[in-house]
C-alpha cells in the first residue's frame, strides 16, 4: 500500500509561532444582549509540535481578578486539509473544550463547532487573521440561531515580544 501522507507541514499557523504580548477584550455576558466589555492583557507563546503538523499555544490571561493559565492545541489533518483547535483552561483542568475545525483561505482562518452554552445548542466560530505587516488577531463568536447572526464575545490582538 502506498502512503499518501503529506510530508511537508502546512505553513498556516507559522505567523503565530513565537512569543507575544496579547490585548484581550471579552464580552461580560454571552448571548444576553450585553454591550459591556472587559479589557485585559496577557502573554502567549506558541511552538510547533507533531513535526510541524500541529502547535501548542501556552497562555497567561491576566484577568482583573487574577491570572489564569490556558492552552490551545492545534493539529492538522492532511486528509481533510483542515485544522482542529482545542482549548484547555486552567480553571477547569480536566475539561477539554469541543474542538473548532476549519482552514485558512488566504490570510483568514475560519474554524467552527457545534457546542452548548448554558444547556442550549450554539455554534462557535473562531476567526484568525494573519494581518501580514500588522499584528495578528483572533476573535470568537457565538450563534444561537444556526449561524444567521453572530455575537463576537472575545477578541485578541497579538504584538510580538522583542527578542
Tell me the per-residue pLDDT of 112-135, one tens digit each, with 9 for 90 and over.
Answer: 999 999 999 999 999 999 999 999
* Closest C-alpha to 85, from 101, 71, 70: 101
Over residues 34-57, the mean pLDDT reads 98
Whether the Cβ atoms of residue 143 and residue 29 lie closer than 8 Å to each other: no
Determine the pLDDT at residue 6: 74
The grid coordinates of residue 131 equal: 494581518
| pLDDT for residue 54 is more than 70 | yes
Whether the Cβ atoms of residue 127 and residue 138 lie closer than 8 Å to each other: yes
| pLDDT for residue 110 is more than 70 | yes
| pLDDT for residue 4 is more than 80 | no
The grid coordinates of residue 83 equal: 485544522
Determine the pLDDT at residue 163: 62
Residue 111, beta-bridge partner list: 102, 126
* Closest C-alpha to 44, from 63, 66, 16, 65: 16
Share of the chain above pLDDT 90, in %: 94
Determine the pLDDT at residue 73: 98
Q: Which residues, including other chains, have CB under 8 Å from residue 9's CB and lie 6 or more apart?
A: 48, 51, 52, 53, 76
| pLDDT for residue 66 is more than 80 | yes
Amino acid at each position: 500500500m502506498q502512503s499518501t501522507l503529506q510530508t511537508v507541514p502546512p505553513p498556516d499557523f507559522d505567523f503565530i509561532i513565537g512569543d507575544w504580548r496579547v490585548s484581550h477584550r471579552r464580552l461580560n455576558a454571552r448571548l444576553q444582549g450585553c454591550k459591556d466589555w472587559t479589557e485585559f492583557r496577557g502573554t502567549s507563546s506558541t511552538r510547533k509540535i507533531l513535526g510541524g503538523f500541529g502547535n501548542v499555544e501556552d497562555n497567561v490571561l491576566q484577568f482583573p481578578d487574577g491570572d489564569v493559565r490556558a492552552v490551545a492545541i492545534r493539529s492538522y489533518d492532511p486528509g481533510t486539509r483542515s485544522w482542529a483547535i482545542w482549548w484547555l483552561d486552567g480553571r477547569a483542568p480536566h475539561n477539554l473544550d469541543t474542538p473548532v475545525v476549519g482552514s485558512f483561505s488566504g490570510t483568514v482562518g475560519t474554524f467552527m463547532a457545534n457546542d452548548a452554552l448554558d444547556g442550549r445548542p450554539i455554534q462557535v466560530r473562531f476567526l484568525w487573521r494573519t494581518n501580514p505587516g500588522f499584528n495578528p488577531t483572533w476573535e470568537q463568536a457565538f450563534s444561537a440561531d444556526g449561524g444567521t447572526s453572530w455575537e463576537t464575545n472575545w477578541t485578541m490582538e497579538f504584538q510580538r515580544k522583542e527578542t
